[in-house]
Amino acid sequence: MRSLLIMRPDGRTRYGGDTTLVYDTAKALRASGLECDVVETDRPDPRGYDIAHIFNVGQPDVGERQMEACEGSNAAIVLSPVWLDLKELFGRAVAAENVLVRERDERKAEAKLSQIRNASLESFFNRRQQKEFDEREGRQSALLRRARALLPNSSFEARDCMVRLGVRNVPFITVPIPTDLSPSECWQEERWGVTCVGRVETRKNQSALSFALRKESVELDFVGALYNPGLAKECERWNARSRFHGRVSREDMLAIMGRSEVHALVSWCETAGIASLEAAAAGAKLVVGDRGAEVEYFGDDVEYADPADPDSILDAVRRALRRPRRSKGDSLDQRIRRLTWQHAASETMRAYELALAQPN
């Protein structure tokens, strides 16, 4: 069996979790004896392959071109949707971040954030914008229906594909995102501070984290590409202990994870958060958001926060800091070690076989 793994054309120039997922999946499949290749294009050529495996329907126009190119071959098409509900991100999240960027008075900022938090999601969109969201989800739903098998990364995502997108007639196999355990080599006994690893952008919610910890004495390190340098400056305005390192080498990133007491990634939408998985492997205690599938990955071994509520974020960080110091082999360590690439490769190949058994 040969498979072609297909990602968005800007996979390398705008590196993200889906990019990591594609390359790590290919590596795991090869280790399991499957022949596979990876391409970054919206015009793939899967001739000569048994499987065309498309990743990420976040950009429907790209996915549609990829699907059309693959349907012209004999390859069975499978799809890893990597589907996230972005409506709150483009509504409530943008509004909250705008307050933290523009407001200079702390009490006014708190009052406005409270109003945003309690407003209905529909209130952030006009009729045209709502229609655009409906059309976007309709196109994503159509893409899923054209595949022979789906590979969601959590049961939460599988549920969304069935209930939110209405796709129930395509078989699926859930393939959890595995943990890269190499960060465990950087585990240090002496630990301090709070770290957030991720692109500096609205989705990762660095602004709310910085604002939430503005009165705390804890050091706050942000590691990740500065796609919005102005946002970093506003975070530093609210919190003088915020330090933005930008994109650093993987070695330096793991060193920071390995000495951090808490890793906080309170995203507006996330599957598990590869950074959170790696930080856990490096020995950090975790604070994560409550909007995605994080609870499915981390259970009761981490603290959860509402990304719309700075007080919730502050309380979660404080709870995490009060937790006992991590030790190798603890319940969180055991939990993430069960998420192996061997299992992911096995389930992916099972999905391939399922797809090949479906009628064309």
- Tens-level pLDDT at each residue, the chain (360 residues): 999 999 999 887 777 778 889 999 999 999 999 999 999 999 999 999 999 999 999 999 999 999 999 998 999 999 999 999 999 999 999 999 999 999 999 999 999 999 999 999 999 999 999 999 999 999 999 999 999 999 999 999 999 999 999 999 999 999 999 998 999 999 999 999 999 999 999 999 999 999 999 999 999 999 999 878 889 999 999 999 999 999 999 999 999 999 999 999 999 999 888 999 999 999 999 999 999 999 999 999 999 999 999 999 999 999 999 999 999 999 999 999 999 999 999 999 999 999 999 877
Tokens standing for residue 79? 């799809």
pTM: 0.91
Tokens standing for residue 206? 């660095």
| 2-85+133-178+340-357 and 182-337 have identical folds | yes
Q: What is the pLDDT of residue 359?
A: 78
End-to-end CA distance of the chain: 17
Q: What is the pLDDT of residue 9?
A: 92
Domain 2-85+133-178+340-357: assigned CATH number: 3.40.50.2000
Q: What is the pLDDT of residue 302?
A: 98
- CA–CA distance, 337 with 329 (Å, rounded to integer): 9
Q: What is the pLDDT of residue 11?
A: 80
Which amino acid is residue 116, in one-letter code?
I
Q: Which of 16, 3, 12 is nearest to 77 (CA)?
A: 3
For tokens 């990420």, the residue is 56
CA dihedral 9, 28, 282, 321 (to 10 degrees): 70
Element containing residue 300 per DSSP (H, E): none
- CA–CA distance, 294 with 340 (Å, rounded to integer): 17
Q: Could you give the 3-state DSSP secondary structure of residue 237?
A: helix
Architecture of domain 182-337: 3-Layer(aba) Sandwich (3.40)
DSSP letter, residue 124: G
Q: What is the pLDDT of residue 167?
A: 97
- Is residue 344 within 8 Å of residue 175, measured between CB atoms? yes
Q: What is the pLDDT of residue 360?
A: 72
- Is residue 46 within 8 Å of residue 73, measured between CB atoms? yes
Sketch the domain layout of the chain as residue ranges: 2-85+133-178+340-357, 182-337
- CA–CA distance, 260 with 103 (Å, rounded to integer): 30
- Is residue 65 within 8 Å of residue 42, measured between CB atoms? yes
128, burial (CB in 10 Å: exposed 0-12, middle 13-18, buried 19+):
exposed
Q: What is the pLDDT of residue 238?
A: 96
Q: What is the pLDDT of residue 23?
A: 93
